[in-house]
């Protein structure tokens, strides 16, 4: 995993060829989780300007 420092808690996918259903299932779930992480990274990059701007708040207008 790029960008992640090595630690004892880091779980990496199994290398090819995969033997066993459990290893294949683990790799599948690991791949899906990485896809979600990558999607959030892409959204963060795309909307970086929004996240870095200060939030403008008008405290005089508060709905009752």
Residue-level pLDDT at 48:
82
Q: What is the pTM of this model?
A: 0.49
Residue-level pLDDT at 1:
46
Residue-level pLDDT at 6:
63
- Condensed to tens digits (0 to 9), the pLDDT of residues 14-58 reads 777 778 888 888 888 888 888 888 999 888 888 887 777 777 777
User: Residue 10 pLDDT > 80, yes or no?
Assistant: no
| Structure confidence at residue 4 as a pLDDT band (50, 70, 90) | low
3-state SS, 13-51, equals: CCCCCCCCHHHHHHHHHHHHHHHHHHHHHHHHHHCHHHH
């Amino acid at each position: 995993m790029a960008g992640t420092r090595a630690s004892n808690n880091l779980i990496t996918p199994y290398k090819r060829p995969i033997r066993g259903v459990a290893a294949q299932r683990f790799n599948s779930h690991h791949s899906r989780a990485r896809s979600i992480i990558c999607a959030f990274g892409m959204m963060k990059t795309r909307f970086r300007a929004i996240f870095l701007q200060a939030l403008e708040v008008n405290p005089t207008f508060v709905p009752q």
